Structure 1
Amino acid sequence: MSAVTLHFENVQARIVRARELSETRDLLAELLAMSDSRLLTLFGVTRYSPQDVHGLKDQVFTGVVAELVRNGWNCDSASFGLARRDTFLMEMARRGLSRTVTRLLEMGADADYNTQGYGDSTVLMSARDPEIMKKLLYYGANPMAVNAHRQTDFSYKLLKGFVAGARFYLYNTEKIPFQKLLDNFRDCILSRESTPYSPMYPLCLVPVVPPMVPYQNIVDQALVDAMFDEGFFPFSSGALTFRLENEISVWQHLRFRMRNARFVTPSLLLAYLACMTKGESFCTTTDFACVDAYLEQPLPREVHPRGVFSKSVFVYMLFSLAKLPAPQLLRWLLLLGKAIRRVALWMDILGEDAFRVVNSAAPLDRKGSHVLQELTVIQSLLSLRVNVTDSFGEFVIPEELTTLLASGPTDSLAG
């Protein structure tokens, strides 16, 4: 969008006192807390469309920081964030205001600032936009800098689920010490100090690395066990079929852990079901029997609900199962019926909050849904396809059909 003319008359008296850090901090904090309409009106912007708001705010703060620096403000003063330890550069990177970030860097802001805190303690960790990350690296940000959890920016973004930021490192490995980043991620997982985020694990287990970039894969049984103990699976076919040091695949090892589990974990059940929909290699008779046995396990005495179920997992399951022929689909409906009844029992014990489903496409949807609702929708839609009722599996199945289901799909039924 084109530049607009900004009017600073309403804040000029405070800008000229930019050397007074408390005054400048209060001014910027007030501007950050303002609603979009009030902020733009304050600087004389009265006509704009909703899609222009972000760009206009970027122009406003670019102009403000330029005026403040011209009047003597130290742009590296740490006065922002929850603990007032962040610089304004970190705040702008966090909000994705790229033009303001560029202006601050051009005026000498420290791109490698680190608060040594437990969250996004570096400027790189504050940035979510890959373009802003690229600018920070150009101005000297260190990708190997760590926070108090000893996480690099790559590990921090991977574990927090900031997908675009984590992928930036996978697509720029020629210019970044990628092996060291992988090793740090492995150390963070094995230390058990971090809460992993499942959708990003495929990027760790089967990295998208150009052939000319040397690296040593960090995947072994210890890493997979650490992921399992935290309640997460890798979610790509390549990751699941990867061979461990004992020549068994990741999927075979996860199946072994599921069959020998003493207690049940809802997140592991959902992860296993989602992986089973990825193809015939992951939904054998052994896998169905594994889930049947797992559903009979008791809940542990102390359950720490995560509440991080993703809507995308259920959408993937629905579309994957809808492609199956009728005999295989009937087999899945039996399994889904058992899972739904068991999840309903778990929700009676633990409450709905432990089974909340997050939709990344609608992050402001506070009501959302829960696991039982999503599984029930999948069951209902799939039941329509094979012309059975939603209660399929609750009554006695005819013996001849039971035999066919146990033996898998046949040519005679496929039509």
Structure 2
Amino acid sequence: MHQNFKMVATTLFGLEEVLANELKQLGAQKVETGVRSVSFFGDKGFMYKANMSLRTAIRILKPIKSFRVFDEDDLYEKLQKINWEQFMNADSTFSIGAVVNSKSFTSNSHYISLKSKDAIADYFRHKYHRRPNVDLKHPDIKIHVHIQKGGCSVSLDSSGDSLHKRGYRSATNIAPINEVLAAGLVLLSGYNGNGNFIDPMCGSGTILIEAAMIACNIPANINRNEFAFEKWDDYDEDLFFKIQDVLLKKITNPHFKIMGFDKAPSAVRKAKENVENANLSDFIGVHHVNFFNSVKEVFGKTTIVFNPPYGERLNIDVEEFYGKIGDTLKHHYPDTTAWLITSDFEALKHVGLRTSKRIALKNADLNCKFVKYEIYEGSRKEKKALQ
């Protein structure tokens, strides 16, 4: 039996509960949400499974040491007290990522990274007269230093490259949505392959691909080339492939339509290319259609999730554009649940439909709302009368 240990999965603001839910469904123990993070317990095999499966995690950290820290010199001293031979040697390459959220540290994250790097390099230089080299691209070991108020947590990063880099996206449009956020939107909408799915402004297809992976139960990071834990001394390749096989056997075929529209031919081309890279061409249809001229052609329960233009992205007449979104949904998309994300809160007033849910999220640095509209067959009043 492998030993259980604590891990921390980081995520985007507003997706903490979604990630906690994913972890519970995967079988994590003692799941607790934090700010942009969720802590949990599991064994080595679970760490592999979490990296392959989680849709809303950015990275999975394995904490190795926590301590109180007062300033930069104190951090240097305390990092030197860690027994680094457990994790690396003087011939290893390493890199440091740091996050600082503390008033007693005037320096920025970059400086804390450099200070931490010096502490570890000096530890080996003093003991062995050789120092490990830094490699930012492909380090043998990636270390994460997180300073929150007066506490410091030092972790090994088991993921390596951010987990949003799924490995399927080669073509992007002006402002592609991050894959983790796209998966979060689909999961927040409640969609799980239980009906039709439409992204009516699909851009390079990220939301569509994440929706299809959810509908087919395909692990989020099955297309990735490597994870950081594969370079660890205790990496168990047999266990990794065993877990991968179990996950692959759980993939299913959805019985509903998953469709994307875009009015730009270039976006349609990019989306098709990315869908093909993700091996999902059998499940996703991408069409050159202007949503505002479209009507709902699929029968039955349908979920719409989209990321219309806002912020710096495209020059549009906001009032007219968002007004058309509302009109198209109301008149041409009966029996659908529509969700859209925007940072333009004024624009939402022009949709002309009542939201039944609003969720605060962030898209990069933009504060956003993810809003839900219920579009009934006939009017809401008739619906009420029938109940």
Specify if TM > 0.5: no
Q: Which structure ranks higher in relative contact order (CA pairs < 8 Å, sequence separation ≥ 6)?
A: 2
TM-score normalised according to structure 2 size: 0.30
Max radius of gyration: which structure? Answer: 1
Would you tell me which structure has more helix in proportion to its own residues?
Answer: 1
